[in-house]
């Protein structure tokens, strides 16, 4: 008889694998078999990590900074995060409010685990970044998906938020600039949501991992700056992955009130101990070193945004919201899907799979982000690649 001794726990049964990573894996398997695939599925900058940051890591290794560090991060990095955030936002925060983790994804896991109880509800506006719902469920809580519309640029309105709050609602999750939509809320729009959070006593997790990738010279707005006292109910999640093209170094952080930071630090000390010591030293160099690399990458992303948005808007039946930041175009294919339904292509997943199989472009189906009828294209790729990818997408749409 087959043993059930290693059957997975109940909490694992509802867990979906990351759809973006799955799509990227499929694209790279096709590439390995010799097919010329244009992979626009992954959310990582295509630039190398700047040289001065790599040098800092090399120096850290040579200096023997290769041992355990304090679980919540080395003091220099916590101070660098606090100073950088305070300087950019005007909110004075202390190093004790910072916990450094193995990437912002880990930071989110820590917050949900440290704050949420069984049955608590977390309002997650859709389209949402793939890991939110799964991480909330892992913490035993319930993601309540609240639909936003492309007509509203995928922004959650205060009235819709107010109407969705129940006695079980504990937390609101916000992501601006957004993955997957690239939409950026204005200070006024976030302020209106902050008012509801205060009125209904909600905690807020502000995922600001793309905070420095805001286009058109617009300011980056950090959520807790919007109302007095808002910092007492907000956890800001950010990191070096996107800003400094450091996705593989795995350094992210939370900025939270001190008692919660202490709890998160305790949790981390039992679960993973410190994030990689060498990466932490590299992150100090990223935050305290020259920032021209950030401006350069921003300019490149903005140029690509113009290219991608212009081409997509010109495609028949395709709609996109205003892309104000990050590096994603989340476009509406509901019209093209109607035309293709007779060919057995009725969902965003079928559309993306056919695009990959027949035209060798990897995108991610909107259903992975809780928004059927849309697809996400990352424009963290060279202009040549993007142009070629857009040509193939246009050919696919024309053939439909
Ligand atoms: C919105 C959002 N939050 C968090 C993360 C996680 O970042 P990290 O790579 O630092 O774990 C990502 C990465 O794709 C993201 O897009």
Asked if residue 5 is part of any domain, the answer here is no
The per-residue pLDDT string of the chain (400 residues; one tens digit each, 9 = 90 and over) reads 689 899 999 888 878 777 777 888 889 999 999 999 999 998 899 999 999 999 999 999 999 999 999 999 999 999 999 999 999 999 999 999 999 999 999 999 999 999 999 999 999 999 999 899 999 999 999 999 999 999 999 999 999 999 999 999 999 999 999 999 999 999 999 999 999 999 999 999 999 999 999 999 999 999 999 999 999 999 999 999 999 999 999 999 999 999 999 999 999 999 999 999 999 999 999 999 999 999 999 999 999 999 999 999 999 999 999 999 999 999 999 999 999 988 999 999 999 999 999 999 999 999 999 999 999 999 999 999 999 999 999 999 998 7
* 270 plus 380 within the same structural domain: no
Atom 13 in ligand 1: residue holding the nearest Cα:
43
Whether the pTM exceeds 0.95: the reply is yes
CA 386 / ligand 1 centre spacing (Å): 22
Asked if residue 17 is part of any domain, the answer here is yes
Q: What is the dihedral of CA 225, 228, 234, 239, to 10 degrees?
A: 20
pLDDT of residue 1: 67
* 214 plus 67 within the same structural domain: yes
CA 323 / ligand 1 centre spacing (Å): 18
| CA separation for the pair 305, 22 (Å, rounded) | 25
The domain that holds 375 is classified in CATH as 3.90.1150.10
Asked if residue 247 is part of any domain, the answer here is yes
Determine the length of the chain: 400
Instruction: Print burial letters for 192-212: b (CB count within 10 Å at least 16), e (below 16).
Output: bbbbbbbeeebbbbbbbbbbb
Please check whether residue 391 is in contact with residue 315, taking contact to mean a CB–CB distance below 8 angstroms: no
* 153 plus 61 within the same structural domain: yes
The domain that holds 209 is classified in CATH as 3.40.640.10
Residue at a domain's end among 288, 309, 326: 288
* 18 plus 125 within the same structural domain: no
Asked if residue 58 is part of any domain, the answer here is yes
* 139 plus 189 within the same structural domain: yes
Residue at a domain's end among 238, 262, 288: 288
Q: Residue 290: is it exposed, middle or buried by C-beta count within 10 angstroms (0-12/13-18/19+)?
A: exposed
Please calculate the CA angle 385-386-391 and round it to the nearest 5 degrees.
100
Whether 45 lines ligand 1, by a CB cut-off of 6 Å, is no
* 21 plus 116 within the same structural domain: no
Of all atoms in ligand 1, which is nearest to the CA of residue 129? 1
Of all atoms in ligand 1, which is nearest to the CA of residue 102? 11
Asked if residue 2 is part of any domain, the answer here is no
Asked if residue 156 is part of any domain, the answer here is yes
The DSSP 8-state label assigned to residue 155 in this structure reads -
Residue at a domain's end among 288, 320, 341: 288
Whether 103 lines ligand 1, by a CB cut-off of 6 Å, is yes
Q: What is the dihedral of CA 204, 205, 208, 209, to 10 degrees?
A: 180
Whether 209 lines ligand 1, by a CB cut-off of 6 Å, is yes
Residue 232 tokens read as: 């007492």
Please count the other Cβ atoms lying within 10 Å of the Cβ belonging to residue 341.
13
CA 368 / ligand 1 centre spacing (Å): 15
Asked if residue 3 is part of any domain, the answer here is no
* 352 plus 284 within the same structural domain: no
Q: Which domain holds residue 297?
A: 10-48+293-399
* 234 plus 215 within the same structural domain: yes
* 177 plus 161 within the same structural domain: yes
* 372 plus 327 within the same structural domain: yes
pLDDT of residue 82: 98
* 164 plus 265 within the same structural domain: yes
- How many domains does the chain divide into? 2
* 67 plus 215 within the same structural domain: yes
Instruction: Put residue 381 in one of left, alpha, beta given phi > 0 → left and psi -120 to 50 → alpha.
Output: beta
Write the DSSP assignment of 86-125 as a string of letters.
HHHHS----GGGEEEESSHHHHHHHHHHHHPPTT-EEEEE
């Amino acid at each position: 008889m087959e043993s059930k001794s290693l059957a997975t726990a109940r909490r694992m049964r509802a867990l979906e694998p990351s759809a973006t990573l799955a799509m990227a894996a499929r694209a790279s398997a096709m590439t390995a078999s010799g097919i010329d695939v244009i992979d626009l599925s992954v959310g990582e900058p295509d630039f190398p990590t700047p040289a001065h940051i790599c040098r800092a890591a090399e120096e850290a290794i040579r200096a023997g900074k290769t041992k355990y560090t304090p679980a919540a991060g080395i003091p220099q990095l916590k101070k660098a995060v606090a100073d950088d955030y305070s300087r950019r936002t005007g909110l004075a925060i202390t190093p004790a409010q910072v916990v450094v983790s193995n990437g912002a994804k880990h930071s989110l896991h820590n917050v949900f685990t440290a704050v949420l109880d069984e049955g608590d509800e977390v309002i997650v506006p859709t389209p949402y970044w793939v890991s939110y719902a799964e991480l909330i469920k892992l913490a035993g809580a319930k993601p309540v998906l609240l639909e936003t519309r492309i007509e509203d640029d995928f922004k959650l309105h205060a009235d819709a938020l107010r109407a969705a709050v129940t006695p079980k609602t504990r937390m609101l999750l916000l992501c601006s600039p957004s993955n997957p939509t690239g939409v950026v809320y204005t200070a006024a729009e976030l302020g209106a949501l902050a008012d509801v959070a205060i009125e209904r006593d909600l905690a807020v997790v502000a995922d600001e991992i793309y905070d420095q990738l805001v286009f058109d010279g617009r300011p980056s707005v950090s959520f807790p700056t919007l109302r007095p006292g808002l910092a007492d109910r907000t956890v800001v999640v950010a990191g070096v992955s996107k800003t400094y093209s450091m996705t593989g170094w795995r350094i992210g952080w939370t900025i939270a009130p001190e008692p919660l930071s202490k709890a998160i630090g305790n949790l981390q000390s039992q679960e993973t101990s410190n994030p990689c010591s060498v990466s932490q030293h590299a992150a100090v160099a990223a935050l305290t070193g020259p920032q021209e690399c950030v401006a350069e990458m921003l300019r490149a992303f903005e140029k690509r945004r113009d290219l991608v948005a212009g081409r997509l808007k010109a495609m028949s039946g395709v709609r996109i919201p205003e892309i104000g930041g990050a590096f994603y175009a989340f476009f509406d294919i509901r019209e093209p899907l109607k035309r293709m339904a007779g060919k057995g292509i009725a969902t965003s997943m079928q559309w993306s799979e056919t695009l990959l199989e027949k035209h060798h472009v990897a995108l991610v189906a909107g259903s992975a982000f809780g928004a059927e009828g849309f697809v996400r294209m990352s424009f963290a790729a060279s202009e040549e690649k993007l142009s070629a990818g857009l040509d193939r997408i246009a050919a696919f749409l024309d053939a439909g």
